[in-house]
Amino acid sequence: MTTHLTHWGAFEASSDGERLTSVRPWSGDPEPMPLIENVASAQHHVTRIDQPHVRRGWLENGPGATPRGAEPFVPVSWERALALLSGELGRVYQQYGAEAVYGGSYGWASAGRFHHAQSQLHRFLNCLGGYVRHVNSYSLGVSAVLLPHVIGELDWVMRHATAKTVLAARSELVVAFGGLSPKNAAVSPGGVSRHNARTWIAQARARGCRFVSISPLRDDTPSEGAAEWIAPLPGSDAAMMLALAQVLDAEGLADKDFLREYTVGYDRFAEYLRGARDGVTKDPEWAATITGVPADRIRMLAREMAAARTLVTVSWALQRAQYGEQPLWLGVVLAAMLGEIGLPGGGFGHGYGSTAGLGEPARIPVPRLPQGGNGVETFIPVARIADMLLNPGVPYRYNGHDLVYPDIRLVYWCGGNPFHHHQDLARLRTAFACPDTVVVHDAFWTATARHADIVLPSTMSIERDDFGVGEGDRMFFPMPALTRPHGAARDDHWMFAELAERLGVGKEFTEGRTVDEWLRHLYEDWRLIQSAAGHDLPGFDQFWASESIELPVPEADQVLAAQFRDDPDRCPLTTPSGKIEIFSETIDGFGYPDCPGHPVWLEPEEWLGGPAAARFPLQLVANQPRTKLHSQLDVGAHSLSAKIGGREPVRLHPSDAAARGLGGGEIVRIFNGRGSCLAGLIIDDAVRVGVAQLSTGAWYDPDPADPTFCRHGNPNALTADRPASTLSQGCTGQLALVQIERYSGVIADVTVRCPPATS
């Protein structure tokens, strides 16, 4: 058996050279994930792309904005595809320059450091002069912008998060906004070796630590935590957090010494809590009317938090919403008021239930493919993709900058699926009709590939040699190819090398190395640097022959901001004041009404407490899927096993199902003013009343006559393409208001599980 790494875990497999004949979890994994079953079952699915394809209209009429997503594709040879594409790249770069190429190409692609799809694309486009890039992520669009103003760079908050082993040993109370989802914490970009999402929680619980899970879904926190479940209206956490802060303030429970020494701006914030200007005290009675959580429970919780070593942790999901800055900032503020930032087991955390890597102590850095320099300065915040394509030349604001959308002629996507990940997919489809040319590399006929002009078939990671290690993970795996490529699929690197050659930059792109030579070169280069830093690592041949190697971890018991606490003058934070900013002069100075200088309660446009709920009285929670990573391998066996009538499952509380006369297992229609989709109903009292949970990931399957209607169950047919705020311009895909009814139409087949029409 040979070991292989995916974003959701390592496995051991045997193969007959064409397919995996048996797959079992890596022997070192104490909590293996069934997601690994998707790999072998998807590999030769009919939706694998087996050769290059070109959209018929593009082939016949050349570059241009004829409708994308409806026409048949023409299969072409590699030679023809590469000639057409290199010709088109040459044309666009020559005629319009690098500013006309969007190469942001957001997406997770596959594990493996060398064949990392985005890195390969960026390196290639940089050889041609550069590209318009993206900043930030769909994951953490708000956090990446807000946290540097408030406590420190996102990367620092993530990498130096208090270790889970420390929480297991020291926390007395864990208050988890958004829960501690074990399915999410099973995944990390680049891979996970030893899953431990449940282990640390079980250990802490056995020692007497209490867990409070604040979330619309009971199963957002694993049963090992025996958590108390509190379910405020989704999107209202900021109000509950303000009330917790108000109790600490009013009852003298806030740590004044900590606030004086380590923070700035508490007084301005406290005035707001006390209602000095607006006459509204943000007390638990006030919050109860907004959140639906009883005032007594909020008041008691504040006292419990003040009495115990308490971790306040905020899931990434809370900031993936309109005004997502507010609950995140308040998480930091609450932890600061409790005075335990920098102490083991207390303080602030961000995403213990969002990724496997958080709370894994920082290990030494790992090899990466150099991407070269980008000659273009223009960028967009990642979730502004549709805005950019629809509004060339239009100004907009972001984090203190006045920016202008560029005029994009060519969109190049390699390793991502915007027709899965972006909000309001019908709007994205209109946006994708704007450029001259759309190029997509993928292994599968995703909805994005179906909206392209030139589609090139990539290998899966099991079909190529690579090495891999996850963010925060300490096991570094060789990843030799397990099978030959499907059909005529090729590695992205090979495609870019061929294109680079035709465009006269072959040498710059490959530096004259084969893939084998690159792997050895990147590894040995890295080993040399590590050895100078005192880390002794095996040579490449020994590594390649091994099953995996363990990377050194300098400080196993890390605690976030411990050095700052010990010596705030010598180890200041990277914020403007060097301290935690409860009031930010910088943000205040931007003057954005949707994100003022200290955290506040702002009523979102789509929440159950607002007027829009009269028409659409259910809050859709579009969270991460349990049976797959995003849209990846949605045709795999494990993902398919959860579908109902071939559709993605939606969960509803028994009372909400009864009120609509709906039964479990029915196909329902979920709709709002933007769009609609079908889904298979599950009735479950683990869901808060008023909430409908439909996870992301079902491949978008638009009705040919109506792109706002997805027949499969992609929640982004329903979500709004609306930024979190002017500050972050972050993605807000987590929440939307909807209504649900029995589907009375003819239940059409899901066509996205078949290849598109060819001619």
Ligand X SMILES: Nc1nc2c(c(=O)[nH]1)N[C@H]1C(S)=C(S)[C@@H](COP(=O)(O)OP(=O)(O)OC[C@H]3O[C@@H](n4cnc5c(=O)[nH]c(N)nc54)[C@H](O)[C@@H]3O)O[C@H]1N2
**Where on the chain is the footprint of ligand X (CB under 6 A)?**
107-110, 115, 117, 138-139, 177-179, 181, 183-184, 186-187, 214-217, 220, 234-235, 237, 315-318, 320-321, 353-355, 414-417, 420-421, 441-444, 446, 458, 492, 621-626, 629-632, 696, 715-716, 719, 733-735
Give the span between the Cα atoms of 537 and 5, in whole angstroms: 20
CB 496, CB 123: distance < 8 Å: yes
Place of tokens 């500013």: 99
Rounded Cα distance between 375 and 308, Å, is: 53
Q: How far is the CB of 325 from ligand X (least distance, A)?
A: 13
Closest CA to 500 of 94, 45, 108, 121: 121
3-state secondary structure 639-691: HHHCCECCECEEEECHHHHHHCCCCCCCEEEEECCCCEEEEEEEECCCECCCE
| Closer residue to ligand X, CB minimum distance, 250 or 637 | 637
Q: DSSP code of 206?
A: H
In the block, tokens 């420190």 appear at 152
Q: Where are the alpha helices (DSSP H) in 142-209?
A: 143-150, 154-159, 164-170, 199-206
Task: Report the residue number, 162 or 734, with the smaller CB distance to Mo ion.
Answer: 734
Q: CA 46 to CA 721: how far, in whole Å?
A: 32
| Burial category of 257 from C-beta neighbours within 10 Å (exposed 0-12, middle 13-18, buried 19 and up) | exposed
The token pair that represents 737 in the structure block: 């208001």
Residue 126 or residue 446: which is nearer to ligand X going by CB?
446
Q: How many helices (H) and strands (E) in the chain?
A: 26, 31
Q: What is the DSSP letter of 132?
A: B
CB of 354 to Mo ion, least distance (A): 8
CA 156, chain centre distance (Å)? 18
The closest of 5, 249, 230 to 115, measured between CA atoms, is 5
Instruction: Name the residue whose CB lies closest to ligand X.
Output: 733
Closest CA to 384 of 725, 756, 691: 725
For residue 200, CA distances in Å to 414, 707, 716 come to 36, 45, 34
Closest distance of CB 731 from ligand X, Å: 6
CB of 559 to ligand X, least distance (A): 22
d(CA 295, CA 265): 27
Residue type, 540: F
Residue with Cβ nearer Mo ion (180 or 243): 180
Q: How far is the CB of 317 from ligand X (least distance, A)?
A: 3
The answer to whether the CB of 676 falls within 8 A of the CB of 709 is yes
* The dihedral sign for the CA sequence 67, 70, 74, 77: positive
Residues in region 131-170 near Mo ion by CB under 5 A: 139
Token code pair at residue 2 = 């040979």
Q: Which of 503, 216, 172, 114 is nearest to 308 (CA)?
A: 172
Tell me the closest approach of the beta carbon of residue 592 to ligand X, in angstroms. 21
**Is residue 676 a contact point for Mo ion (CB under 5 A)?**
no
Tokens (6 digits) for 267: 């007084």
Q: How far is CA 403 from CA 85, 322, 460, 494, in A?
A: 30, 21, 38, 36
Residue 731 Cβ, how far from Mo ion at the closest point, in Å? 9
Using CA atoms, how far apart are residues 131 and 123, in angstroms rounded to an integer? 10
Residue 6 vs 139, nearer CB to Mo ion: 139
Dihedral (Cα; 696, 698, 701, 707), 10-degree rounding: 0
Query: What region does 519 belong to: left with phi over 0, alpha with psi -120 to 50, or beta?
Result: alpha
Look up residue 450 and give its amino acid. Answer: R
Comparison of 216 and 342: residue with beta carbon closer to ligand X: 216
By CB under 5 A, the count of residues binding Mo ion is: 1
Q: Which helix (H) or strand (E) holds 473?
A: none
Torsion of the alpha carbons at 164, 166, 167 and 171, rounded to the nearest 10: 180
Largest CA distance in the chain: 74
DSSP-derived 3-state class of residue 518: helix
Q: How far apart are the C-alpha atoms of 101 and 407, rounded to whole Å?
A: 9
Q: How many Å apart are CA 157 and CA 320, to the nearest integer?
A: 18
Residue 371, classified by CB atoms within 10 Å of its CB into exposed (0-12), middle (13-18) or buried (19+), is: middle
Q: Which is nearer to ligand X, 148 or 189 (CB)?
A: 189
Provide the annotated active-site residues: 106, 108
With tokens 């990724």, the residue in question is 355
User: Considering the complex, what minimum distance in angstroms separates the CB of residue 232 from ligand X?
Assistant: 6
DSSP for residue 608:
T
Nearer to ligand X by Cβ, of 553 and 642: the residue is: 642
Q: 701 is written with which tokens?
A: 């399957």
Q: Which is nearer to ligand X, 69 or 342 (CB)?
A: 69
Residue nearest Mo ion, Cβ-based: 139
Site residues for Mo ion per CB under 5 A: 139
